[in-house]
Amino acid sequence: MRAAFEGSQAIARAVVRCRPQVVAAYPITPQTHIVEGIAKLVADGEADCEVVSVESEFAAASVVLGAAAAGSRAYTATASQGVLLMAEVLYNIAGMRVPLVLTCANRAVSAPINIWNDHQDAMAVRDAGWIQLFCTDNQDAIDTTIQAFRITQDTELPVMVCVDGFILTHLFEPVDLPSQEQIDMFLPPYRFSRTLDPRRPLTLGTLVGPEHYTEVRAQLHGDLEASITEILKADADWADLVGRRAGGLIKLDGPHRAKIGILTLGSVYGTLQEAARELLPGTPLRLMALRCFRPFPAEALRRAVEGLADLIVLERAIGPGAGGILATEVRAALAGLRDAPRVHGAVAGLGGRDIPLGILSRLLRLAEAAEPVRCTVIDLRSAPPARPGGAK
């Protein structure tokens, strides 16, 4: 069914059609509309699940972990401070290998408090052991959410679907909402190989000493890397069913002969596409959106950048003291590659700062630098606020 929905409502509808049995969340802007939407669908009798209004994100993550471990399909959503507060449980969920889907309505992190979009929240938990998929538009958010429920139970790895706060969650745009029948064909009923059941007692998350802990962690790493197969398969099966892919591992746009590429995460991909089309129609550019950030698809990335002389990485997060987080990972993935492009790191759009179409020309200037640019913050205002304690 094609109709215009607010991004959050579209996600809420996609979630309930995946038939979760337990949803637990704590409100936080800009995620709240999603859970409010689910609560309304349940109240209207359009969905049959338990929505628990818990007392914090810490509780939300714990409730869905318990529900999923006991054999229910479970879902939660959060953002920003909520992701950080969940962090301890997020590690637990991945370590216990329990299937869960979480929507992260990406938002900046305090202090200073800021409710607008960037990717610092998801980046802060990138090593928690979750699959992290970034959406470029609301169709993508719907399709990826549905795929996430399948990926999580096929891999027994939790999946975080990252959706740009406000830019996507609060945007009204026409989307195709897959029917219940389509989703039922795609998504088998929930199953979990180690469901807690008194008839077959077992323990999840028990103490593991030095003699086994390394193996458990190495296995998580290996399984996360191997999950690329299921991520690709889910997207391919989805395309067979609805005639539309959600982007595999990396979305690509632009001619093969391009010498300059720009890689980014999330909705700014659309901005770059429009800028390239409107402002620089004759310039060959390869635009890329990394859909799958965890596992990091190094092989796919190496293929995607073939032939490029310069690769500009544009990201909405920063690792203070290290530079761009995505850029750093891209450099690591391309290290040792013959004819690898020069990688330039650019940070923009923090805390909701608009990324205008005009950014494209400023990004392209990086490719003219004599040496690769390690990390530059684009469109920085000339006078940053005074440092606390008096600037030294």
Ligand X SMILES: Cc1ncc(C[n+]2csc(CCOP(=O)(O)OP(=O)(O)O)c2C)c(N)n1
Rule CB under 8 A: which of 71-110 touch another protein? 81, 85, 110
Q: CB 105 → another protein: shortest distance, Å?
A: 12
| Strand-pair category, 2-6 with 172-176 | antiparallel
Distances (CA, A) of 260 to 97, 211, 231, 257: 40, 48, 28, 9
Contact predicate 69/96, CB 8 Å: yes
Its sign, for the CA torsion 351, 353, 357, 360, is: negative
Strand positions, DSSP E, the chain: 2-6, 22-25, 50-53, 74-78, 101-106, 131-134, 159-164, 172-176, 250-253, 260-264, 285-290, 292-294, 310-315, 342-347, 376-377
Span near ligand X by CB under 6 A; candidates 22-30, 97-105, 205-213, 330-338: 22-30
Q: CB 383 → another protein: shortest distance, Å?
A: 20
Span near ligand X by CB under 6 A; candidates 20-28, 202-210, 300-308, 347-355: 20-28
Rule CB under 6 A: which of 37-76 touch ligand X? 57
φ/ψ (deg, to 5) at 311 = -125, 120
Tell me: does residue 53 bind another protein (CB under 8 A).
yes
Q: What is the distance between the alpha carbons of residues 83 and 105, in angstroms, rounded to a whole number? A: 10
Among 10, 11, 22, 28, interactor with ligand X by CB under 6 A: 28
Cβ proximity to another protein, 90 vs 311, nearer residue: 90
Strands lying side by side in the sheet with 74-78? 50-53, 22-25, 74-78, 101-106, 159-164, 131-134, 292-294
Per the DSSP assignment, residues forming a β-bridge with 104 are 78, 162
Element (H, E) at 33: helix 32-43
Among 56, 214, 219, 361, interactor with another protein by CB under 8 A: 56
Tell me: does residue 27 bind ligand X (CB under 6 A).
yes
Cβ proximity to another protein, 60 vs 96, nearer residue: 60
Span near another protein by CB under 8 A; candidates 25-33, 69-77, 195-203, 227-235: 25-33
Tell me: does residue 28 bind another protein (CB under 8 A).
yes
Cβ proximity to another protein, 111 vs 370, nearer residue: 111
Span near ligand X by CB under 6 A; candidates 80-88, 148-156, 223-231, 334-342: 80-88
Gyration radius (Cα) of the chain, Å: 21
Tell me: does residue 51 bind another protein (CB under 8 A).
yes
- Residues forming contacts to ligand X in the complex (CB under 6 A) are 26-28, 57, 81-82, 85
- Residues forming contacts to another protein in the complex (CB under 8 A) are 26-29, 32, 35-36, 39-40, 43-44, 51, 53, 55-58, 81, 85, 110, 113
